[in-house]
Structure 1
Amino acid sequence: MQTEKVVDYIVNWLKDYATNAGMKGFVIGVSGGIDSAVTSTLCAKTGLELLCLEMPIHQAPSQVSRAMNHIEWLQSNFDKVRMTQVNLTPVFDSLIESLPDVEDEESRFMSLANTRARLRMTSLYYFAALEKLLVAGTGNKVEDFGVGFYTKYGDGGVDLSPIADLLKSEVYAIGEYLGVNKEIIDAAPTDGLWGDDRTDEDQIGASYPELEWAMKMDDEGKTSDDFSGRKQEVFKIYKRFNSANKHKMIPIPICEIPETLL
């Protein structure tokens, strides 16, 4: 990857898109992870306005501190970067109290994790509409088009996706080129939706380098029978997530009424 040229291309793409849309700039949720750090830096490099939101919901202190440190770094390097902290913990807790109890605690736990992402999306669009900004997405290629590791209408609800054609390894390479804080580069990837220290690899069962490999093999038409051992296990994990989350990656199904009925 020609890192410098890719960075320039994305920055110009972002600036042109916002300008043509008649928008002032971007709003982004900064989580303390590599994807939001790289995306926010690319947005800042456009020279347009950038509003960074830090939106904790029972968040691990380490995630909050990484996010705040990154925002401070952005503000020290770029003129038009602003920051707002929106504490969504009481909103989340209040919603839980309003919802009826259910017997299936595991399903409820998963639903509430996704609810966190959707509360953040709602907050992002509040500020986007208020200040004439575009919501910048932070999903990478493996998450968005490989395993579908994001929340539908949560972190998947955005106006544009600057890094969605980049593999996770490429996002890290750009992060290092941009000078993103080492604490973010070194942190284990996590979606931060559970209020604990579980990582993406804990949830998926495979690392991002492994998933990138599986995605490439799948694109080449390979099947699980072509591999053995750990490679076969990883490939099966990738295919399972890819199949289960396909509904996130394709357009919303439309019931098309036959002309004979109209």
Structure 2
Amino acid sequence: MTNNIKMNTEAVTNHIVTWLKDYALNAKVSGYVIGISGGIDSAVTSTLCAMTELPLLCVEMPIHQDPSQVSRAKEHITFLKNNFSNVTSTVADLTSTFETLKDSLPSSNDEALLNLTLANTRARLRMTTLYYYAGLHRSLVAGTGNKVEDFGVGFFTKYGDGGVDISPIADLMKSEVRAIGEYLGVPSSIIIAKPTDGLFGDERSDEDQLGANYDELEIAMTAHMNGAKADDFTGREREVFDIYSRLNRINQHKINPIPVCIIPTELK
């Protein structure tokens, strides 16, 4: 499998910025609120939002956060403020809030399940916080999920980082997001950092959790969308294709809209 994705980076960037600005103006909101994690996705999305010239509030929301993630987040916010006068920032330290909630809920003897549940709880606390700020500022919450995460492997928390008003980069593969980041001048420390969801309070990467990196997964995603089957591959390519296929299958409940039970007319 090879990745032959090509993109007119400047044109795509301008398209997203115009789309973001038009959407906000048509919705008659002031601007955007976004969570800054120190990763490439939030860095690119926040920069695109800043380029609209509409007010952008960047929110840091540490919960027992790894210091490297905190420092990258601060570095990016400094980058934004040095380049855009419409950017402001705030810090909502949710560590004590998270601990209070955790102490009020039952624990579990299944440590792995408990840790995953708590990780998703962190994401949902952050979503609630972003919407609080969005309400105060009459703004929209900008999502930071890319195409592999949102529509490939479903690597996001439902009603956590998946709870947003608008998804500017959800039609871009990770490599395309990275290319736009380089074009926009996002700090190199963020571009080269291993992607992480930052939900476990340690240095584990997305690759550690998924079993494959984004370059591998987006190639598998492209092959899957083109109708490829597992038997078309061998070795590591087969392993990654199987990983992608399994995650895509089990996470359809996140990838697809919420099922609605339609009542037949004759029953009403």
The TM tier, using the shorter chain, reads: over 0.9
Residue 219, structure 1, aligned to residue 229, structure 2: no
Q: Give yes or no for the alignment of 1:191 onto 2:197.
A: yes
1:181-200 CA-to-partner distances (Å, cap 9, x unmatched) read 01101100001011111101
Letter paired with 2:89: M
Equivalent residue letter for 1:163: I
Q: Distance in 1 between the 2:107 and 2:49 partners?
A: 42
Distance across 1 between alignment mates of 2:67 and 2:61: 12
Counterpart selection for 2:69 from 49, 63, 67: 63
Q: Which amino acid aligns with 2:211?
A: G
The residue type equivalent to 2:179 in the other structure is A
In structure 1, C-alpha distance between the alignment counterparts of 2:154 and 2:108, rounded to whole Å:
27
SS in 2 for 1:203: helix
* 1:200-220 residue CA offsets vs partner (Å, 9 max, x unmatched): 111101111110110011011
Deviation digits for residues 153-174 of structure 1, max 9, x if unmatched? 0000000000000000000000
User: How far does residue 257 in structure 1 lie from its aligned partner after superposition?
Assistant: 1.9
TM-score (norm 1): 0.99
Shift in Å, 1:103: 2.5
| SS, match of residue 34 in structure 2 | strand
1:259, distance to aligned residue in structure 2 (A): 2.4
Partner AA of 1:151 in structure 2: T
CA–CA distance in structure 2, aligned partners of residues 174 and 72 of structure 1: 19
1:45 to 47, 51, 62: 51
Match runs of 1:127-166 below 5 Å: 127-166=133-172
Match of 2:214 in 1: 208
Out of 12, 15, 19, the residue aligned to residue 13 of structure 1 is 19
3-state DSSP class of the match of 2:204?
coil
In the comparison of the two structures, how many residue pairs are matched?
262
2:155 partner amino acid: F
Q: Which amino acid aligns with 2:262?
A: E
Q: Which residue in the other structure is 1:182 paired with?
A: 188
Q: Does 1:4 align with 2:18?
A: no
Does residue 1:96 correspond to 2:102, yes or no? yes
Name the CA distance, whole Å, in 1 between partners of 2:192 and 2:255: 29
Counterparts of 2:230 and 2:209, CA distance in 1: 21
Amino acid at match of 1:175: G
Measure how far apart 1:254 and its partner are.
Answer: 1.1
Structure 1 residues without counterparts, runs of 5 or longer: none
Question: Which SS does the other structure have where 2:259 is aligned?
Answer: coil
Structure 2's unaligned 5+ residue stretches are: 1-6
2-side partners of 1:160 and 1:102: how far apart? 35
**Runs of 4+ with >6 A deviation:** none
SS in 2 for 1:170: helix
**Superimposed CA distance per residue, residues 40-99 of structure 1 (whole angstroms, 9 cap, x where no aligned partner):** 000000000000000000000010010011001100100110000000000000011000
Is 1:122 aligned to residue 128 of structure 2? yes
3-state SS of the aligned residue for 1:82?
A: strand
RMSD (Å), alpha carbons: 0.7
